[in-house]
Amino acid sequence: DAKTTQPNSMESNEEEPVHLPCNHSTISGTDYIHWYRQLPSQGPEYVIHGLTSNVNNRMASLAIAEDRKSSTLILHRATLRDAAVYYCILAWGAQKLVFGQGTRLTINP
Amino acid sequence: NAGVTQTPKFQVLKTGQSMTLQCAQDMNHEYMSWYRQDPGMGLRLIHYSVGAGITDQGEVPNGYNVSRSTTEDFPLRLLSAAPSQTSVYFCASSLTIGPGYGYTFGSGTRLTVV
């Protein structure tokens, strides 16, 4: 299974941008990059996904490196509600998402 | 739309009892799956289904049974509950089986086996 590497934890301040990195050096050409987040005591929530090009939606932006070996999830203006565990996942084929440990994001008021 | 609905939200079982965790989605999603999440760990795939009548095993299938008779429902059965099955269970669905679509998760069932 293709693996991703994320920092265990990150901290940021409210109303500032947050850049969450993810390394996936063994990514294959057909792997999609998915991001999910999990707020305390809730189920995971879809954030964004992409294949090659950068992607934007109402929640976040996904910046994918040209060689696709890394990506960055960008929260443009963090709020306290963005405090969660963020998972970077490679999806392929029948889309059996394999979750790692994720990055625990803390937002300071 | 309600999205993915899981029932019950909480359950306590005695060792050896059986029960069914319910999962229903109203989005006409083709793909459905069950995950478990243990304290401090990521989610692990138990079983998944790519359509009505089609199921397959995930990473940790032992002790669990599934069936998919309709597009909307994907129940998870614990055949004989064991303390090792104490966990939070999440059901998820996606429009189709391809990797280009996101998942929608339910809010979870917290199961304790004593």
Q: Could you please report the per-residue DSSP string of B28-77?
A: --SEEEEEEE-TTS-EEEEEEEEETTEEEE-SS-TTEEE--SSSSB--EE
Whether the Cβ atoms of residue B25 and residue B44 lie closer than 8 Å to each other: no
Residue A1 has a pLDDT of 57
Q: Is the pLDDT at A11 greater than 70, yes or no? A: yes
B33, two tokens: 């799956």
Q: Tell me if residue A80 falls in helix, strand or coil.
A: helix
Least confidently predicted of A29-33, A82-86, B12-16, B107-111:
A29-33
Distance CA B68, CA B51 (A): 7
A104 touching B (Cβ < 8 Å): no
pLDDT bracket for residue A55 (50, 70, 90): very high
Q: Is the pLDDT at B110 greater than 70, yes or no? A: yes
Beta-carbon separation of B105 and A43 below 8 A: yes
Q: Which residues of B touch A93 (CB under 8 A)?
A: 99
Question: Out of A43, A44, A95, whose CB is closest to B99?
Answer: A95
**Any idea which residue has 């998915």 for tokens?**
A34
B39 touching A (Cβ < 8 Å): no
The model's pLDDT over A14-53, given as tens digits with 9 standing for 90+, comes to 999 999 999 999 998 889 999 999 998 899 999 999 999 9
Distance CA A32, CA A46 (A): 14
Residue B42 has a pLDDT of 83
Q: Is the pLDDT at A69 greater than 90, yes or no? A: yes
Percent share of chain A, pLDDT over 70: 95
Question: Out of A31, A91, A96, whose CB is closest to B58?
Answer: A96
Average pLDDT in chain B: 94
Question: Out of A43, A49, A92, whose CB is closest to B90?
Answer: A43
Distance CA B76, CA A63 (A): 37
Residue B80 has a pLDDT of 96
One-letter amino acid of B20: T
pLDDT bracket for residue B1 (50, 70, 90): low
Distance CA A73, CA A91 (A): 16
* Overall average pLDDT of the B13-38 stretch: 96
Residue A77 has a pLDDT of 95
B98 touching A (Cβ < 8 Å): yes
Residue B35 has a pLDDT of 96
Phi-psi map region of B4: left, alpha, beta (phi>0 left; psi -120 to 50 alpha): beta
